[in-house]
Amino acid sequence: MENRVFVFDTTLRDGEQSPGCSMNMEEKLRLARQLESLRVDVIEAGFPISSVGDFEAVQAIARQVRSCTIAGLARCVKADIDRAWEAIRETAKPRIHVFLATSDLHLKYKLKKTREQVLEEAVSAVRHAKSLAPEVEFSCEDASRTDIEYLCKVVEAAIEAGAAIINLPDTVGYAVPDEYGAMFKEVRRRVPNIGKAMLSSHCHNDLGLAVANSIAAIQNGVRQIECTVNGIGERAGNASLEEIVMAIKTRHELLGVTTNVNNEELIKTSRLLSSLTGMVVQRNKAIVGANAFAHEAGIHQDGILKSPITYEIMTPQSVGIKHTQLILGKHSGRHALKQRYAELGYQLSDAELQSAYQLFCAIADKKKEIFDDDLEAILETGTQTTEEEYQLVNLQITSGTNLRPTATVELRRNTETFVDSATGDGPVDASCRAIERMTGLNGKLTEYSIKAVHSGHDAIGEVFMRVEFDGLLYNGRAANTDVVAGSAQAYLEALNRAVASKKRKDLQKAETVVDRSAV
Ligand code: KIV
Ligand code: ZN
């Protein structure tokens, strides 16, 4: 049996139709191009009959993406099939994907049709699709809850009518792995012409089993896996593409199959989808979550520093992340602390490390995460606080729908006062630029979030900013009912930390020079 598993991505169809995930045409095209770079085999670009927008997006993707098969979804209805074909006909590798429910439950309550009627409709739809497109896929919706004998009958007839790919979905995420795998085994055993088609799985995640079920399907002869980036999709989502791909790669010896996916593009694809839809990936999500390659526990950090394979089953680089992150928090040990100081350019003696570690533990008990500027403050001042070089005295904004946002900022440093104005892309940008003009320090904003502490118009906004100055990252936080003022305060806090850090380093250098000259 062929040991290549074909990856069928349905992010733009099953994923996009779920709440909070809709994308416009330009966004769909960007994602489709990224899916091409990821080297998925099939992109299900949409359901062309469902709306004019969907039709146009599928058509645009079909015209522009040449190296993947482009599939358009259709019910077993002539108008659907014609519309799907119209949308994909210009692509290099078109596929019409027709589906019809086969479980008695769906036949009785949804379709109100007999088994015979459904069988007939499936056959004539596949025949019609095959008269238009070179490749046809047929899906038995709710296959995992369909009577096996009837399922085999429909599968045999669909293949006979011209379907080259037979997809047997677990539409409602009800199956468990052994059961789902056994269904494919049985279909392969009972359907006489099964050798003429490729079997496909399509799993939903209602019980959190979508990836496990997909793997069970592969172990039972399935060679096409339908999945979505970040596992987005109806209700609890679809099987997650990145998890399946990395399971196949990491457990290659056990599973004995491969995909053509360029796994180093996984993070980029996941982040692009999140930024296009605003659907944030949970921190602890496998493969692409922020914590997937981060370690905080002291024992784990120590192990990772000795040899990454102690606690990492795949490298962060294999999914497109630059390096493992050792998060410094209350569970971290001396070893990780020493390592981080070394990365920041401080070589600590055992005594220095011991006293820094004591302070670190005291602060870590109060704070969730300890950042680089906290570490520097610990080292030099024995406290966690950074002195404020600049203070925000006043901020005035002019902004509007037809006005270029302008900020006038007043800062104080000791007894001096500075006032300057700047324009920007928005009021926050203008405020940061005005601050930069006065301090002469230019930062690059690498992270920015605003969280409402309560609901309502008068909610306090908690602003968090991570800003890069001279290649190092500094954090700023502020809470304010005015999010622009809060953002300016947070930016200034990060900038003050950068100034304090530079002062400490200059002082350390000067002391070294004095020491040497004394020798
Ligand atoms: O979940 C499902 O059954 C589907 C089919 C249309 C393939 O999405
Ligand atoms: Zn589905």
Least confidently predicted of 139-143, 180-184, 325-329: 325-329
Closest to 344 (Cα-Cα) out of 359, 355, 328: 328
Tell which atom from ligand 1 comes closest to the C-alpha of 141.
Answer: 3
CA angle 481, 485, 490 (to 5 degrees): 105
Which ligand places an atom closest to the C-alpha of 227? Answer: 2
- Domain 294-380 has what CATH class? mainly alpha
Closest-lying ligand 1 atom to the alpha carbon of residue 234: 1
Distance CA 432, CA 114 (A): 67
Give pLDDT tens digits for 27-57.
999 999 999 999 999 999 999 999 999 999 9
Question: Is pLDDT at 364 greater than 90 in this prediction?
Answer: no
Taking the CB of residue 256, how many other CB atoms lie within 10 A of it? 12
pLDDT at 49: 98
Ligand 1 atom with the smallest distance to the CA of 13 is 8
Of 49, 21, 249, 42, nearest to 136 by C-alpha is: 42
pTM of the model: 0.77
- Give 379 or 128, the one with higher predicted confidence: 128
Which pLDDT does position 477 carry in this prediction?
81
The band of 513, judged by pLDDT with boundaries at 50, 70 and 90, is low
Most confident of 18-22, 268-272, 387-391: 268-272
Q: How far apart are CA 283 and CA 301, in angstroms?
A: 19
- The residue whose CB lies within 8 Å of the most ligand 1 atoms, and thus the one to mutate among 18, 80, 141, 183, is 141
Query: Among the listed ranges 250-254, 455-459, 471-475, 489-493, which one has the minimum average pLDDT value?
Result: 455-459
* pLDDT score for 384: 46
Best of 100, 139, 165 to mutate for ligand 1, by most ligand atoms within 8 A of CB?
139
Residues with CB under 6 A from ligand 1: 14, 99, 139, 141, 167, 169, 171, 202, 204
User: Tokens 């949308």 map to which residue?
Assistant: 87
In a mutational test of the pocket of ligand 1, which residue from 171, 204, 214, 235 has the highest number of ligand atoms less than 8 Å from its CB? Answer: 171
Q: Indicate the residue type of 120.
A: E
Separation CA 266–CA 258 (nearest Å) = 16
Residues 6 or more apart in contact with residue 351 via CB below 8 angstroms: none
Q: Above 50 in pLDDT, residue 465?
A: yes
Q: How far apart are CA 283 and CA 298, in angstroms?
A: 20
Confidence check: pLDDT of 458 > 80 = no
Average pLDDT over residues 298-311: 90
- Closest Cα to atom 7, ligand 1: which residue? 139
List the domain boundaries for the chain: 6-277, 294-380, 391-505
The neighbourhood of ligand 2, an ion, using CB within 5 A, equals: 14
pLDDT recorded at residue 519: 44
Distance, in Å, from the CA atom of 279 to the CA atom of 230, rounded to the nearest integer, reads 9
Supply the mean pLDDT for the chain: 92
Task: Determine the atom of ligand 1 nearest the C-alpha atom of 73.
Answer: 6
- Residue 298: its pLDDT value, please? 85
pLDDT band at 459 (very low <50, low <70, confident <90, very high): low
- In the CATH scheme, what architecture does the domain 6-277 have? Alpha-Beta Barrel (3.20)
Under DSSP, is residue 86 helix (H, G, I), strand (E, B) or coil? Answer: helix
Q: Is the pLDDT of residue 457 over 70?
A: no
Q: Which helix (H) or strand (E) holds 397?
A: strand 391-400
Looking from the CA of residue 172, the nearest atom of ligand 1 is 1
Looking at 95-104, 159-168, 171-180, 273-282, which range is the least confident one?
273-282
* Closest by Cα among 423, 418, 392 to 407: 423
According to the model, what pLDDT value does residue 454 have? 58
Rg (CA), the chain: 29
Q: Can you say whether the dihedral through the CA atoms of 384, 388, 394, 398 is positive or negative? A: negative
Ligand 1 centre distance from Cα of residue 360 (Å): 52
Across 27-41, 371-385, 403-417, the highest mean pLDDT is recorded for: 27-41
Task: Please say whether the structural domain 391-505 has been given the CATH code 3.20.20.80.
Answer: no
- Whose Cα sits closest to atom 1 in ligand 1? 171
